[in-house]
Structure 1
Amino acid sequence: MNEQQRYAIIVGIDGSPSSQDALRWAVGQARRTDGEITAVMVWDTPALYDWPLQTAEQLDRVTDETLRKVVRESVDEDDLARIHTQVARGHPAKALLRAAESADLLVVGRRGQGGFSPALLGSISQYCVSHAPCPVVVVRDQRPRSRDGSQGG
């Protein structure tokens, strides 16, 4: 990173509480490093035959609106200036890795799903940790857990 560039942080956002926690964590890191955040939300065409067809441009617009709303609801107004938004298409983990190619840090959320979650294949956070071109921080959902291990609302 040269003197002109700011510390670049990519954050994966899907609207879940854990991705909102990841964004808030990234904001704290950006404050400490004078960093800049790019919040990335990814969409992919569903594999449903009866899904109401929309154009890619419509899906980009809806995703962008959703992303901007999640960002506004997740952080203080003072921090909005250091956050840029980006919509990407395709597989979420692969799109995040493309976005992180020139980043200093990738931050993703991880939904707490009980004791079996490490065994589940296809975890976006696990894929990012294994393949990212930069360090990765995985932020767990910070909501309190009940005695049976499920997440409270």
Structure 2
Amino acid sequence: MTETYRIVTGVDGSASSRAALRWALWHADLAGGAITALMAWDLSPIYGWAPDDAGHRTARTLQDVVHEVAGESRVPVERVVVQGGPAKALIDAAADADLLVVGSRGHGGFTGALLGSVGQHCVQHAACPVVVVREPGGRTG
């Protein structure tokens, strides 16, 4: 019995994370692997949303992005929503994965940055290899 090649992919709805998911699907198809698409949420109480609302909205966004990007792909995609910071959630989820795939930048921070803080953290701390996928069009800021 062989274990399935497992790829964890960070999804936040950005163009960069969609490109990362697309790349992970391509690679998983070649390797005969499966994907865990992970989306994390963490809201301060000042936003006025109840945790259930944020969790449901995040799950719906993840569902929509995976459906849009994966379409009729034959690669199995597990959807995981986690409460907490995205960098820690990705590192934890990828602890026993074969590969972690993230977009080069997401929704936060400096829009001109070549690599976002979550991607940077993953590159520095992941226990498995990390692939950083640039946003389509090669935009650098």
**Structure 1 position 144, deviation (Å):** 5.2
Report percent identity of matched pairs: 46
Indicate conservation of the 8 Å contact 2:105/2:119, yes or no. no
For 2:84 and 2:138, the matched residues in 1 are separated by 32
Tell me which moved more, 10-19 or 56-65.
Answer: 56-65
Alignment RMSD (CA, Å) = 2.1
Deviation at 1:90, TM superposition (A): 0.8
Tell me by how many angstroms 1:71 deviates: 0.6
Mind listing any 5+ residue stretches in structure 2 that lack a counterpart? Answer: none
Amino acid at match of 1:64: A
Q: How many corresponding residue pairs?
A: 137
Q: 1:9 and 2:7 equivalent?
A: yes
Q: Which amino acid aligns with 1:62?
A: R
1:55-70 alignment runs, 5 A limit: 56-70=51-65
Cα separation, 2, equivalents of 1:11 and 1:31: 14
Given the alignment, which residue of 45, 49, 56 partners 1:53? 49
SS at match of 1:14: coil
Cα deviation digits, residues 68-90 of structure 1 (max 9, x gap) = 101111123133x5111000111
Q: Which has the larger Rg?
A: 1
Instruction: Note if 1:126 corresponds to 2:125.
Output: no
Partner of 1:110: 104
TM-score calculated relative to the size of structure 1: 0.81
Report the counterpart of residue 29 of structure 1 in structure 2: 27
Deviations 1:77-134 (A, max 9, x none): 133x5111000111110111011011000000013944xx26x8x7110100000010
Q: Does 1:142 align with 2:136?
A: yes
